[in-house]
Amino acid sequence: MSRRQHVLILYLESSALDSRVIAWSNYDGSGRSRHMAGDQDEPPYKTGLHAMRDGWRLFQASTLNPHTPGDEFRTGYLKYEFFFEQLVTADE
Amino acid sequence: MSNAELLKTTDMARFAAQGYLRLDGVVPESLNEQFLKDIGHEDEIGSALEHYQRIMGRSAIPIVPAGTSLNDAYPNDSALAKILALPRVAGAIESLVGGDCVVDHHFLHITFPPKLLEKPAPSQHTHQDSTIDPRRAFDVQIMYFPHDVTEDMGGTRFVPGTHLRIVSEAAISRYQNIRGQQRMVCPAGTLLFVHHGIWHGGGANRSDEMRYMFKIRLAPTRRQQRLWDTRDLDTRAPQRPIFWLGQPPEEDDVHTILTTKQPWHEQDTGRLEYLNAARFWRYLTGDDTFDADYWLTRVENEPQ
């Protein structure tokens, strides 16, 4: 029996873990489930905290960076990105 | 005299705020049929490779050098020339990029059903065309759906309101699902006009049918200022009460349109989207004093 990483990425409405999920991605290293762009219209959890309560372990959070002078109003990538994992058993 | 039906100010404001304009079933069935014939579609398809090679080899879609005037790009008797001359289509083009725009490129996107593939193809990652592009001027991409597109056919997915975000093409491919994303499910003959910056991707075709989407990217050759029907434009409208309103805002008011929250907006940068939409409206109207709900006035207020 070997273990694989199942990664859930949640993009939240703010830097607070209990804020609303606005975008999400799901990558299952066990191969049991397959996810792709556009496959779900509703997020798997309401907030990041709801994912933690369901056993997802947070292992990375985006940092809060100071704003570059002159570039304060430019928007780009989603700002509040949180990586969660579960270790799952893979079929041999 | 042109028979183009120009966009109204509210249509243009919605495009400025949401980055898209959808014209459902605007192309008559006879032209959809002619287009499918022009590209070499056949109802019976042996294999995906054979069909793809046939279309690439025999299609009547012209080879158009980048920068060709749209008016010279398609033979007059072609389905594409007739579609682009439809009053509502010509009017949208004229309003967004001007009647003297040029073709950047065009491409026929073909999405095969699983029965014609060894392995079902996944959806396309979310991306922004075509490279990092911080301009205020903008190109439009016209996506033409020549047949009915059902939910399981994987019509183009896009996220309204993402067009003003400056990102680098496939750098956003990590984002699988975003609240508020839309998928094209539409009748034959639908055109989707999008700002070049909108986040989008093709869907997975799970049906038994072929899915075609023809895309034309158009670039302006003139400043995109007041190209639509501006008879109802009033940039000098007074500022409204904000936050404490007493009653819901008028939904067709330009201020409301430019400051409407999208389901994916972050709490803080969602507000920056309002500022950026108001700045985009200043660009489109040529009025540098315009503001929507005081968002720009507040941060520009530096009394001397």
How far is residue B265 from each of residues B115, B165, B173, B226, B244, measured CA to CA in Å? 39, 12, 18, 28, 21
CB pair distance less than 8 Å for B175 and A80: no
Nearest-angstrom CA–CA distance, B128 and B164:
11
Instruction: Please name which of A84, A17, A85, A13 lies closest in space to residue B180, comparing C-alpha atoms.
Output: A13
- pLDDT at residue B199 tops 80: yes
B169 bridge partner residues:
none
- Half-sphere exposure in the Cβ direction for B38 (13 Å, CA): 21
* pLDDT band at residue B237 under the 50/70/90 scheme: confident
Q: Give the model's pLDDT for residue B12.
A: 98
Same domain, B169 and B257: no
CA of B233, closest CA in chain A: separation in Å?
26
CA dist list (Å): B269 to B264, B274, B275: 10, 9, 10
Residue B117 forms part of a structural domain: yes
Q: Determine how many CB atoms are found less than 10 A away from the CB of residue B151.
A: 12
Q: Residue B176 and residue A78: Cβ atoms within 8 Å?
A: no
Q: Do B265 and A22 touch (CB under 8 A)?
A: yes
Residue B122's pLDDT is what?
94
> Domains in chain B: how many in total?
2
Confidence bin at B58 (pLDDT 50/70/90): confident
Q: Residue B299 CB: number of other CB atoms within 10 A? A: 11
Please name the member of B176, B263, B276 whose beta carbon is closest to the beta carbon of A37. Answer: B176
**Interface residues from chain A to B (CB-CB < 8 Å):** 9, 11-14, 19, 21-26, 35-41, 43, 73-80
B246 pLDDT more than 70: yes
Q: Name the residue facing B125 among A37, A40, A79 (closest C-beta).
A: A37
Q: Are the beta carbons of B207 and B152 closer than 8 angstroms? A: yes
H or E segment at B87? helix B87-97
Lowest mean pLDDT among A53-57, B56-60, B251-255: B56-60
Instruction: Mark whether B18 and B104 lie in a shared domain.
Output: yes
- Taken as a whole, chain A contains a residue count of 92
Average pLDDT over residues B248-256: 93
Give me the phi and psi of B188, to 5 degrees please.
-55, 145
Q: What is the pTM of this model?
A: 0.96
Strands (E), B203-280: 211-219
A9, B273: Cβ pair inside 8 Å? no
Q: Based on the domain organization, do B117 and B185 belong to the same domain? A: yes
Cα B73 from Cα B160, distance rounded (Å): 29
Distance CA B105, CA B68 (A): 9
Is the pLDDT at B2 greater than 80? The verdict is no
Dihedral Cα B237, B234, B197, B201, nearest 10 deg: 100
Is 80 exceeded by the pLDDT of residue B236?
Answer: no
Residues A4-46: tens digit of each pLDDT: 999 999 999 999 999 999 999 999 999 999 999 999 999 999 9
> Is residue B25 a part of any domain in this protein?
yes
The yes-or-no verdict on residue B93 having pLDDT over 60 is yes
Q: Which of A14, A37, A77 sits opposite B267 (nearest CB)?
A: A14
Question: What contacts B18, CB < 8 A, 6 or more positions away?
Answer: B160, B161, B163, B262
CA B250 to chain centre: 25
| Domain stop point among B219, B243, B269 | B219
Q: Do A38 and B123 touch (CB under 8 A)?
A: yes
Q: Which of B168, B195, B219 is the last residue of a domain?
A: B219
Residue in A19, A22, A78, A14 with CA at minimum distance from that of residue A47: A19
A67-90: per-residue pLDDT in tens? 999 999 999 999 999 999 999 988
CATH number where B107 lies:
2.60.120.620
pLDDT for residue A92 is more than 70: no
End of a domain among B219, B245, B271? Answer: B219
Residue B167's domain comprises 9-219
Q: Which residue has the higher pLDDT, B6 or B234?
A: B6
> Please, which pLDDT band fits residue B107 given cuts at 50, 70 and 90?
very high
Residue of A75, A77, A81, A82 to mutate when probing chain B, most B C-beta within 10 A: A75
